[in-house]
Amino acid sequence: MTVQLVQTRFAEPAGNSSGEAIGIRRLSRRFGAGDQQIVALDDISLSVKEGEFVAIVGPSGCGKTTLLKILAGLDRPSEGEAWLRGTPIAGPRRDIGVVFQSPVLFPWRTVLDNVLLPVDVQKLGRSRCMDRANALIEMVGLSGFGNRYPSELSGGMQQRVGLARALIHEPAMLLMDEPFGALDALTRENMNLELQRIWLETRRTVVFITHSISEAIFLADRVLVMTPRPGKVQIELEIDLPRQRELSVMNSAAFGEYANRIRGILNAKGAVD
């Protein structure tokens, strides 16, 4: 019932003919110059299909966040190209939703007003989006909290508000930068379940950055493993586990095999201290 309701509201994003949501070709990003130069991303090429859930896993400093910033139009590559749905990224775009590591809420706005922030910025009309905002607040499990202020919410609840906000302007894709990294382990598992459910309902393209191997395998259709210095994608791993996944899948042999492979790659590259 709820699923149906939400599905009708979240119309399928109009895909382009190729079905490619994100394309990156031979992309590099360097900071500084000379001896001090840091290669954050080195010759990265990848492609994400429309509606696909891709997780990028790697240790701190492997350039994951830089990659996400480039996709969000907040940073530019030193070399190479990146497209979103067939058009080159030339700056921030309105058809993406970003979820950051911290909830990044505005403390002077209520939960509802925080969710409506993109609506205000992009002048989409509050009255038109009010139903949608309330449906999203319900979807992330915060019914009845619309008029509360962020300081009254727990960390997990705040991050849910951030998720609802990222979805309000019907973005074609979601970019998530370690969104649950600051949460405690139990809340985090719970949020993973929630995110999977929401993704199954909305089928947005998701790029999910994390340093947790199990989180990446649990959530993603495909896991990209990155190593630092220079930031490089070492391997792409299709995760062939049936949806809807339960937390118990983490105890399965297949899950353990995926985790071992990823860990093996990271260890071999000296990415783990």
Partner 1 sequence: MNSGFMKIVFSVLILCALLLAWQFAVRYNEIPIYLIPAPSDVIMALVRGFQTGIYTKHIIATLTEVFAGFSIGLAMALVLGLLIALNRTVETYVYPYIIMFQSMPKVALAPVLVIWFGLGMTSKIVTVALITFFPILVNTIVGLRSADFDRINLMRSLGASRWQVFRMLQLPGALPFIVAGIEVGIIMSLLGAIVAEFVGAEAGLGMLIQSMNTTLDVAGQFSILIILSVIGLSMNKTVGFIGDRLLFWDSSRKAKAAMGRR
Shortest Å distance, C-beta 267 to partner 1: 32
Q: Does residue 5 interact with partner 1 by CB under 8 A?
A: no
- The secondary structure of residue 245, as a DSSP letter, is P
Q: Point out which span in 23-31, 86-94, 212-220, 230-238 binds partner 1 (CB under 8 A).
A: 86-94
Identify the H or E element spanning 1: none
- Between 84 and 266, name the residue whose CB sits nearer to partner 1: 84
Q: Using an 8 Å Cβ cutoff, are 140 and 164 in contact? A: yes
Q: What are phi and psi of 249, to 5 degrees?
A: -60, -25
* Calpha distance 200→186 (Å, rounded): 22
Q: Does residue 25 interact with partner 1 by CB under 8 A?
A: no
Shortest Å distance, C-beta 93 to partner 1: 7
Count Cβ atoms below 10 Å from residue 185 Cβ, excluding itself. 9
- Between 159 and 227, name the residue whose CB sits nearer to partner 1: 159
Shortest Å distance, C-beta 157 to partner 1: 15
Q: Does residue 160 interact with partner 1 by CB under 8 A?
A: no
Q: Point out which span in 25-33, 90-98, 216-224, 238-246 binds partner 1 (CB under 8 A).
A: 90-98
Q: Does residue 148 interact with partner 1 by CB under 8 A?
A: no
- The secondary structure of residue 220, as a DSSP letter, is -
Q: Does residue 149 interact with partner 1 by CB under 8 A?
A: yes
Task: Please compute, for residue 179, the number of CA atoms within 13 A of its CA located in the half-sphere on the CB side.
Answer: 30
Shortest Å distance, C-beta 122 to partner 1: 7
For partner 1 (CB under 8 A), the number of binding residues is 25
- The secondary structure of residue 217, as a DSSP letter, is H
Q: Does residue 188 interact with partner 1 by CB under 8 A?
A: no
Q: Does residue 146 interact with partner 1 by CB under 8 A?
A: no
- Between 182 and 250, name the residue whose CB sits nearer to partner 1: 182
Q: Does residue 16 interact with partner 1 by CB under 8 A?
A: no
Exactly one of 24, 40, 56, 72 binds partner 1 (CB under 8 A); that residue is: 72
DSSP string, 106-132: -TTS-HHHHHTHHHHHTT--HHHHHHH
Q: Does residue 121 interact with partner 1 by CB under 8 A?
A: yes
Exactly one of 48, 98, 136, 209 binds partner 1 (CB under 8 A); that residue is: 98
Q: For the CA atoms of the chain, what is the radius of gyration?
A: 18
* Calpha distance 105→111 (Å, rounded): 9
Count Cβ atoms below 10 Å from residue 111 Cβ, excluding itself. 27
Shortest Å distance, C-beta 63 to partner 1: 17
How, if at all, do strands 79-84 and 87-88 pair?
A: antiparallel
Per-residue burial over 226-265, b = 16 or more CB atoms within 10 Å of its CB, e = otherwise: bbbebbbbbeebebeeeeebeeebbeeeebeebeebbeeb
Task: Kindly list the residues in this chain that would bind partner 1 in the complex (CB under 8 A).
Answer: 69, 72-74, 92-94, 96, 98, 100-102, 104, 106-108, 117-118, 120-122, 149-151, 169
